[in-house]
Structure 1
Amino acid sequence: MKPYIATTKFTLPTIPVLSLPIQISAELPAYGVMLTPFPITFILSNKTIYPQEAVFQLESIHGFMFSGQQKLKLRLLPDSPHYLNYTLLPLMSGNLKLPRLHVMLERYATLTSNTQNDQPDIHIQLEENLLRQVPTHLLVIPSTDGLLESSEKNPTFNQEEIKNV
């Protein structure tokens, strides 16, 4: 008895692939301490053979103060990374949203993918894909300075009590 094989052929829809001309990554600590400044560095790399002009803007967030240029226009040359250095000061503790870096590539500033309201235009898609590797939140712990001093003055237990338990 011969086995029967059923074969079905159909065409798949085409998927548009968005080529990203630049790559963005971030270097920052694993956690922050409230009211203690820490550095954050955005590393910008041009992946094409052509210079890319872009406008970068770091948004203000109520949980952080920062030092550095809030908005600047750069020309990214091929094969030469550019570093945007900022110093952030967390004003509260918790899992805080980091200031977002907005990117506007000059080459794509006037292009839109569709005129319908429900379709995002191409520079929003580019920004979302460019910033996919950049962290959006950071854990900020309370300052430990006051906690250590108060626990030394008013200990709630001592080592002998722990051994007896």
Structure 2
Amino acid sequence: MERNLTMVALFAALIAALGLVPSLTLGFGVPITAQTLGVMLAGTVLGAKRGALAALLIVVLVALGLPLLAGGRGGLGIFTSPTAGFLLGWPLGAFVTGLITDKTRQLPLSVSAIIGAVIGGIGIVYLCGVIGMSIVLDKTLIEATWLVTAFIPGDVVKAVLAGFITQGLAKARPQSVLTRH
């Protein structure tokens, strides 16, 4: 129990720390950040439940006003901005990433983690983000989908990084990759 809490808190801190990497905000108000890499890693390393809890912890802390998002943003106002859907999608994205990484054990861990990160960390998070942008920006789902295409190349790189980081962590400290225990 104590180890699980520690790992959840550690990955929540990682997601927050990745918000310190300088971001680039696009014209429609959504920044390109490194934080989604942390969400992907939470899923690939911690698994579905613990990964989702780490991402949910960040969402709760942001709601409480802590400036943990890229650019030092936080507070309830975030949930009425174009980024709201992406942020709310982080726990579900981490969950799906972890579930896929765990359920595809027949594949090498790096491949399994990349697939999980693409489906959960990109697909699910984008789905939530597109719905949120559509509502906040008063766009159709198709228009909002076109807006997020700018994120695809960087997020694919993050998914590949998540796969190789997870594999490297498994080699260095096998007991720390909970999706394979």
TM-score (norm 1): 0.36
Where is the helix percentage greater, Structure 1 or Structure 2? 2
Where is the strand percentage greater, Structure 1 or Structure 2? 1
Name which one, 1 or 2, has greater alpha-carbon Rg: 1
